[in-house]
Amino acid sequence: MTARLTRTLSRWSPTPDRLGGALLEILREGQRRGFLGPGPVEHTFDHALGFAGAADAPGRAVDLGSGAGVPGLVLALAWPESLWSLVDASARRCAFLGEAIVALGLDARVDVVEARAEVVGRDPGHRGGYDLVVARGFGPPAAVAECAAPLLRLGGAVVVSDPPGGDASRWPAAGLAVLGLEPDGMVRAGAAYQRLRQVELCGERYPRRSGVPAKRPLFRST
């Protein structure tokens, strides 16, 4: 168990070691099932927790392409007042996430949404309803931005992990402006986390049909 994990959980759980152990075991199981990349899950936990250093605690947040629950599950534990939607198109990953939230006692404030993000962005129950969108390994910048923007309220934020080192030129202001987004700085804390801000509500034409944001990106990253 990492000291950081215990510290994070002890802010709200009377049994941080037990809860932290359960979380790490869930991530290991996710890895065994192929829902999470290789490497020590403690590092994955640290990387996920890094998102919290790049955003204010949200009321309502969404994790796009949550996979085995990264970073959504970690952030739901770190921000005990927050409500979450973990969105993933894969039925197997969503079944796994459903079991994970029950095991962690998060089922009262975390929902699993089995759907394409492009479909969720057109659902009135989700559109414009979030303070924060997070994404890790979801797709290229233009696809992340086009799937995230429709979900955000005015003033809401996106935090997305960037490849090691980070490169702000992957997030061009002119391309983001089409979606009502603007770059809001990059946080470097071990890893790199790009921040975007929803400065105008996203236009009705976005997101485009499933698959189109990745196939015909609104902007190219240099």
Ligand X SMILES: C[S@@+](CC[C@H](N)C(=O)[O-])C[C@H]1O[C@@H](n2cnc3c(N)ncnc32)[C@H](O)[C@@H]1O
Provide the binding-site residues for ligand X, judged by CB under 6 A. Answer: 36, 65-68, 70, 87-90, 93, 116-118, 136-139
- Is the CB of 16 or the CB of 35 nearer to ligand X? 35
CA-CA distances (angstroms) from residue 56 to 97, 125, 132, 148? 24, 23, 9, 17
| Among candidate residues 92, 103, 108, 172, the one with its CA nearest the CA of residue 140 | 172
| Nearest distance, CB of residue 42 and ligand X, angstroms | 14
- Is the CB of 16 or the CB of 127 nearer to ligand X? 127
- Is the CB of 70 or the CB of 151 nearer to ligand X? 70
| Nearest distance, CB of residue 135 and ligand X, angstroms | 7
| Among candidate residues 114, 126, 135, 145, the one with its CA nearest the CA of residue 55 | 135
- Is the CB of 66 or the CB of 194 nearer to ligand X? 66
For 78, which DSSP code? H
Tokens linked to 66:
């949550």
| Nearest distance, CB of residue 125 and ligand X, angstroms | 16
Q: Where are the beta strands (DSSP E) in the chain?
A: 60-64, 83-88, 110-114, 130-135, 152-162, 181-189, 191-198
Tokens linked to 173:
């202001």
| Among candidate residues 182, 147, 141, the one with its CA nearest the CA of residue 160 | 141
| Among candidate residues 109, 69, 108, 107, the one with its CA nearest the CA of residue 88 | 69
Which helix H or strand E contains 156, and what residues bound it? strand 152-162
Give the C-alpha separation, 174 to 166, whole Å.
19
- Which residues, listed in sequence order, are joined to residue 152 by a DSSP beta bridge? 130
- Is the CB of 19 or the CB of 144 nearer to ligand X? 144
| Nearest distance, CB of residue 115 and ligand X, angstroms | 7
Q: Residue type at 73?
A: L
| Nearest distance, CB of residue 118 and ligand X, angstroms | 6
| Nearest distance, CB of residue 187 and ligand X, angstroms | 17
- Is the CB of 70 or the CB of 100 nearer to ligand X? 70
